Chain A
């Protein structure tokens, strides 16, 4: 609690981690929510924890905030052990999934709450609250009551209420989950900007892979209480470490066992992203360094910017191919999902992809379904 949390954003790792988790475990009776987790989040980083519900990401957030007690392991904030500290003694603030705005207080009083509790003088409280409201573009809303605000505005109040305390770390628990898509996209960009401006470490929990890819410096993909992969968005997408990550982050085609032997010549497992696969006529020549397989089109899914073609290969696997719709084509009548530039259902096609676009996965160790 001695360091000023206002320091300019240092490069990752230079100032020591903002959060260090060591051997962190949380059990609820026989259920293990988080298993022996080691994790460092750098100062000033936008860090996302991505995973399906029940994967332990929210539990980790709550352990850092102090709402849950760790079964084992330690939580360090700025090098200080806070494992046993109550939430109010931790230099972190949380933006809750349901915003948790105090309904009996107006926007101003909500934002000032943390400062008031810490007995910050009134004039400074006013100034800082006004600043925070400006940051989230809610100036002019200070005297509104929560029930007069829209979901997006409430979300901004929650953000301002947390930021005004200048925490060492800001924890965000699926804060955009309740917003509609349009607003969510806007807020994604805005959150990233705010984070860059204030230079506070953000830890962002989400189950939306697009959200995580859009905003994060690094992403930890959670599965069954463990981190499957910890990487930059780029790495995560291009080099998924496991079939789980490949499947959870974006769409992917998994090739393994006999299928991989037939198509690639090795047993794999491999993944290849749909946009790296090319759709062609059967019996085209094969360039060196390419793999290919023939099959039948099962489905053509028009998605606006792209079209996904699902093909059942003769080798015994389903693959998805993504093509950019870069031509303006009128859809033939009777089959709106099938533009003329694309394959038709039941058509015979050949799929090919470059060998170096195959991402080998590290075995199937993480795929155990025994638990």
Chain B
């Protein structure tokens, strides 16, 4: 516990402290002068506001897409598949997590490339690839974090007894109504668990955007560029606090619903 405190919270504290310092424009040295300048820039400059909103939008879109994709998969795994197929599917869902992040991101780069598979497919309907940009970023991130949504939903569905499905049907509800009135509310805590992963992972990402995002920038890129190329650590730290604050807000909201207690 102590280690966790020192290593984790310590780093976080250092980050926040750094965010309150400033940088000498000429030497590039960090100057330990207390100031809110970094946060003023962050809130005041239009482009950072846009990037922040874009990042939230991407994270939200990824979460929604993952939930929509993961639900049928999880439902099939938990309620329709034989025990054997169930195991196979769990492994199939987990395997991509072992593959290198970069390989997967570059695979999507190939998919979205001009003359790539998506382009070819699109031509059949008179369309082309959307190219590198926001849509490609969302698709790639949704693919990357999908397992983190499938697994909690699957675990949640496993805990819904079959007799509840039967009871709902018995009382006159068709499949759609049962999913809406029984399964969805019961699965909400699992969805929240999954969304914490998909949302926060998407919000912090900067590599996938680099690879398939074209010129699109997300908060992660700003952090990366400022800590690397621009060598403005205090500002990078200030930007990095944004996702942290957003996640804290999200967790607080989620906690209100009581979903965390049921994880």
Known: A102-B182, A104-B186. A86 touches B171 (CB 8 A): no
User: Nearest B residue to A119 by beta-carbon distance?
Assistant: B172
**Which chain A residues (65-107) contact chain B, with CB distance < 8 Å?**
65-67, 86-88, 92-94, 96-98, 100, 102-104
Closest 10 A/B residue pairs (Cβ): A114-B171, A100-B167, A100-B163, A87-B169, A117-B172, A117-B173, A104-B185, A94-B170, A88-B172, A88-B169
Known: A102-B182, A103-B186, A104-B186. A113 touches B163 (CB 8 A): no
Would you call A165 an interface residue if the criterion is a C-beta within 8 Å of the partner chain's C-beta atoms? yes
Size class of A's contact patch?
Answer: 20 to 34
Total cross-chain contacts (CB, 8 A): 63
User: Nearest A residue to B163 by beta-carbon distance?
Assistant: A100
A residues in contact with B117, CB < 8 Å: none
User: Nearest A residue to B173 by beta-carbon distance?
Assistant: A117
The CA-CA distance from A103 to B258 in the complex, in Å, is 14
User: Nearest B residue to A62 by beta-carbon distance?
Assistant: B166
Summarize B's interface: helix, strand, loop or mixed. Answer: helix
What's the least CB distance linking B263 to chain A, in Å?
A: 16
Would you call A371 an interface residue if the criterion is a C-beta within 8 Å of the partner chain's C-beta atoms? no
User: Nearest A residue to B165 by beta-carbon distance?
Assistant: A100
The CA-CA distance from A365 to B93 in the complex, in Å, is 55
A96 in contact with B169 (CB, 8 Å): no
The CA-CA distance from A104 to B258 in the complex, in Å, is 12
B166 in contact with A113 (CB, 8 Å): no
What's the least CB distance linking A115 to chain B, in Å?
A: 9
B170 in contact with A65 (CB, 8 Å): yes
The CA-CA distance from A98 to B181 in the complex, in Å, is 20
The 8 A CB mask of A161-182 against B (1 = contact, 0 = none) is 1100100000000000000000
User: Nearest B residue to A161 by beta-carbon distance?
Assistant: B171
A67 in contact with B166 (CB, 8 Å): yes
A100 in contact with B161 (CB, 8 Å): yes
What's the least CB distance linking B227 to chain A, in Å?
A: 45
User: Nearest A residue to B169 by beta-carbon distance?
Assistant: A87
Known: A98-B161, A117-B177. A87 touches B170 (CB 8 A): yes
The CA-CA distance from A92 to B172 in the complex, in Å, is 9
A88 in contact with B174 (CB, 8 Å): yes
Which of B167, B174, B185 contacts A96, CB < 8 Å? B167
**Which chain B residues (33-85) contact chain A, with CB distance < 8 Å?**
none
